[in-house]
Amino acid sequence: MSLTVVGTMAFDEIETPFGKSGKIIGGSATYIAWAASNFVKPINQVSVVGEDFPQSELDALKNKGVALDGVQIKQGEKSFYWSGKYHMDMNTRDSLATELNVLADFKPVIPESYQGSEFLILGNLTPQVQMSVLDQLKVRPKLIVMDTMNFWMEVALDDLLKVLKKVDVLMVNDGEARQLSGEYSLVKAARKIMAMGPRYLIIKKGEHGALLFYENHVFFAPAMPLDDVYDPTGAGDTFAGGFIGHLAKTKDISFENMKTAIIVGSAMASFCVEKFGTERLREITQEDISARLEQFVQLVNFDIDLV
């Protein structure tokens, strides 16, 4: 029931209308692991950090069932760092600083102990790095999920298209889906993107939920209406972690079960935004998750008499 996660482990510094975080732990692989570890163990982590990355953070992940054999620690170097400021709507943000540091020449190595992992999620990294991971796998996982972003569509489109041919599920936001496909209608965009390789497409729409496309089927999952959104950073990765975590737990990759996985992902993301960084994800219990999932059921449940 193993899951391999490839992505960044980093430092973030975030400012929102609710305050400033100071320097905290972030990164796509960090959020994915914290979310997915509620559903499946082990999580096989593949990432790179500098010697400045706290041992206490690595220990906390290890205690959640995250294997760190694939995490490179570069002595004498600094971890990836990102700083950003969110606008009042919490959907738009300005990047204030991006320091690649150890990420600049990251060459992931898949340890022998990770081989045979049934599920793989490729966090947002260069398409070349994502491809190098796929090339190292001796056995193709049961399901490969990948995330990408508009930047790679602009500077590495050819490489991105090669990776798309090899994955099962692509996750992008609505702007990225439109950019990749050249279509404004998300339904038309989905059709074009699935023709590029992925059998499933998830289009994330932030506070407006997420869409799941498969062949001619579409499923919509809402986002939980919350009193306060403190920090949207990592919400998409937390969503991905909940999604792949549920699939790895159930070992069922049918469209019907992916619908459930989307709801699980949305529930996990709704926790993430309630505090800065990974703070809220560290606190939640199985009871919290069950209660939040029940709220989602109530959110979309209705009776109707067709006349």
For the cut 90, the answer to whether the pLDDT of residue 181 exceeds it is yes
Describe the crossing of helices 28-36 and 55-63 by its angle, rounded to 10 degrees. 30
High-pLDDT (> 90) share of the chain, %: 91
For the cut 90, the answer to whether the pLDDT of residue 303 exceeds it is no
User: Rounded distance, CA 29 to CA 208, Å?
Assistant: 24
What does the block give as tokens for 232?
């949207």
Please give the average per-residue pLDDT across 222-234, as a whole number: 90
Lowest mean pLDDT among 168-177, 190-199, 294-303: 294-303
Residue-range domain boundaries for the chain: 3-300
For the cut 90, the answer to whether the pLDDT of residue 306 exceeds it is no
pLDDT of residue 206: 84
For the cut 70, the answer to whether the pLDDT of residue 1 exceeds it is no
What does the block give as tokens for 249?
């737990």
pLDDT of residue 302: 85
Adjacency order of strands within the sheet including 93-99: 19-26, 10-16, 80-86, 93-99
Relative to beta strand 169-173, strand 217-221 is unpaired
For the cut 80, the answer to whether the pLDDT of residue 307 exceeds it is no
Sign of the torsion angle spanned by Cα atoms 128, 75, 31, 144: positive
Q: What is the pTM of this model?
A: 0.96
High-pLDDT (> 70) share of the chain, %: 100
Specify the DSSP class assigned to residue 207: G
User: Rounded distance, CA 295 to CA 303, Å?
Assistant: 16
| CATH 3.40.50.300 at 3-300, yes or no | no
For the cut 70, the answer to whether the pLDDT of residue 81 exceeds it is yes
